[in-house]
Structure 1
Amino acid sequence: MTDVIDDNRFGDYRAKELLGEGTTTRTWAAEQVSVGRMVLLEELKESAAGERAYFLADVRAKAAVEHPLVGSIYEAFTEGELCFYTEELLPGKTLEKRLEEGETFDPPNFVHILRCIAEANEYHEAHGTGTSSFDSGSVFVDDQGVVRIKNLAVAGGRIPDHSLRDILKLGSELEPMLKLNRPGGTRCLTLLSWMRGEGVPKPLEWNEIRDYCEQIEQQLTEPSGMEAPPTAAIRPMKGKRNNILFAGGAVLFLALLAFFLTSKGKKEQVAGVREASWVAVEGGLFISEGGLRFRTGPFEISSTEVTIGEYAQFLEALEIVEEENRTIYDHGEQPTVKAGHKPDDWKMLYETAQKKGIWGEHEVTIDSPVVGVDWWDAYAYAKWKKGFLPNLEQWMAALLAKTKAPSKIPVSDWLPVSENDLDRTTDGLLGLAGSVAEWTSEPRPNPSNPLGESLWVIAGGSYLQPAEGANTRGWVNDRSMRRPDLGFRICREAE
């Protein structure tokens, strides 16, 4: 509706154009006369005076939203029969309008828009803000690609299915706006299908959508130092979802997707234990995100944490040798009261992993990172493998080697290690931000108490203690400590 109004005043505002009309409200493009700016004015109809309390409650909910992507509320006015509020008139055109005009977006622009949508909705989730239905008409994009979101907040708090409602709808509505046969197009298309719940137990959540969009954006804008294109995937939550590999090449991706669908998403049946791969780290000067400067020499580090299957091989090897020789891999300071290197509840954990069962609400396999190990166990395993535990500087060097923003690596759950893990560095190291925390080899002083005693360092976040993700550090004085979210990875000399 586009009726032109010559002089329809609402206090300081002059209505210019009627943009829409509902059962209880009218929406105007209006000019705020005193400052000469255009605003959006929402008027409560006189015939709906009985809805005034609900109308103003929604206005208060909108005014409480403070997010740079979401339109701002300017003021509300109620006096006599007049009741209205004004808000920011967002620039550009809605995605709905652009779709009507036949406009489409290249994958980099498309995934940027989708990430902005996810970030705005994450904000609403975090603040418990209820919203009216979100669709392509709620998103404005100007000619410079700047994205803004209509303020859809409503009174009454957030209902659990608000996000599900909007994700399902957008998964369908946005697909015609994507230019296919462009780099990243296949990944974006599959992301939309996941949002619709296709091929997965349930649709994605907003934080997963945002994480995956960031990964695609990084892949499309930053060349990787890897020999093959980096992979990306939405990380399943607590073993309830299935993995899918998004490879750089469309042919490879489609082949893997076909396999995934025909196998109904079940994890690949791998005979035996997967072999760990190694990532070379060149020596040199490193600077952490917090400004810490340090140097290391060259070395190689395992791309994944040591798994249950790998650790089982170690224990089986110890069983084979004569009892008096089973301590040959022990550290010289290991307490004499420590007998063997079996983790907490090892028998039950290993049997559950072999059956691909549930352990502590998590699906575990022999490819899940081993947990419940103390420092002495980790040291002995590394020595058995003719390697060593990384010290803190080596661990951080591996994290920083080719990854520009370690703090942005998504935290993963405790799940079987997989090359399509979103919790990965540019070099392909998995699980540094989440999965399980990791023992390091030597004590270091805590920067918060530089004059204090040097303690043993646990590096990285975990599924139980995500803290600062890959930048998480912990200091303990007990090398015999065991936790259900604590494991390790190993290093070896550079070849």
Structure 2
Amino acid sequence: RMISADTIFLVGEGQPRIANPVKPGIPLPEEDSAQMRLIADAIRPFVRGPKADKRLVALLDRMSNPARVDGIKSGHGLAEAIRHLEDQALHPPAHAELEKRSNRTAIVSGIVVGLLIVVAGLIWQVFFGSRPVAKPFDTMIRVPDGAFIYQNGEKVEIPAFWIDEYEVTIGQYSAFLDALKADPSLVAVVKHPDQPETKKSYRPKDWDEFYETAIRGGNISGAAIDPNCPVTNVDWWDAYAYARWKGNRLPTDQEWEKAARGTDGLIYPWGNDLDLARFNSGADQDAESNGNKDGYRYWAPVDAFPQDESRYGVKGLTGNVSEWTDTWDIDPDNPDLKVPIKRGASFATKEGYELTSRRPAKSPDEMNLWTGFRTARSEAPLPAGTPPPRPEPATAAPDSGAPEPAAAPTPDGTPPMEKPAPATETPEMSAPPAAPASEPPTATPAAQPAPAPPTPEPKNE
């Protein structure tokens, strides 16, 4: 529903309220500047005529024309402008001048202040009143040492480790970016020693659009998104750097599988029978299904599926997004190269949901809307709420003629990386974020991802 004069009303003792702008099937405007224009159009009927306060009229003009040099493009900018006008109305230039003013002028100033308060209330309701709250999700789960059934029956023994209970969220990743902005020297500390020189930033692709939409609980491609959804569009270098900033690391392929399957070699965290209602998959991504099997067409908050829980209490391993691991293996398309392994299905996976499925990336630079990560560590985590310790700079392994990962030897004995795969821009990376395409099937490593379909109609929850 578009914001207009008939959607604004006063209740109680003059408290401003705005009618629920959500109407099933119609997404809200995604741009703050569009909201500015809508609010200006809604207020303008109340300030028309020759006696309208020029300051308020000028404010509405700035909201209606965000392209102006002094145009108001966001809720924060409007809040600042309102505070400035309130100061002007409440604090005239000089006491002597105030004594010359008539009672009529004082009344008009009071009306202006009242209107500004109403506008401020509207801004709070639209931009801040119903914003989703970012949850901490700081808990890590201990997985004990001992043997477990790996892949198709091999018994493997690995040491105890801790792993994040949930996938890393948009809210958590934003704290990482804020830390790098506050202390740019951290960039050199958290980066992998073999990170390409061409990679200059850890900001995910389309980060500004996704983050701004998430913090106000908006929609992208008809799918709701908030700070508790998993961060995506991150490559392997991003995941590695975030983990180091947290004082952690990425889990190995074997650690991930043990955390998911337990010691009994389960096919799914809950047992051996597939249940599409227990996790977020791509089985209902098409327009006809529209998320009717699990309730989500694309991403979901990381805690949306409590049934997707392993015997150890780790959640979201079966679906939602595939996850980067610390393990590198032979590229199926190029045996001379090694690439990072991803584990777990995603909202774009239409088959191959088994926890044994290993998903080689195209390269460590691969990024798309269905890949995220979680972190792990070998020692007990710090108490909840403790700021991440400043990590020591990573150092490359002794030169053997080819670059190797700087991480310590992995519990599964994975050989060191012989040569990082070259950066390649996949169709998912170059396509706009209008609608996620389907993930390539794991059974055919050489298959190319399907092209992005047209933007879907929003899904009725």
TM-score tier by shorter-chain length is: 0.3 to 0.5
Q: Which has the higher contact order (CA 8 A, sep 6+)?
A: 2
Q: TM-score, normalised by structure 2?
A: 0.46
The structure that has the greater radius of gyration is 1
Between structures 1 and 2, the one with greater strand share = 1
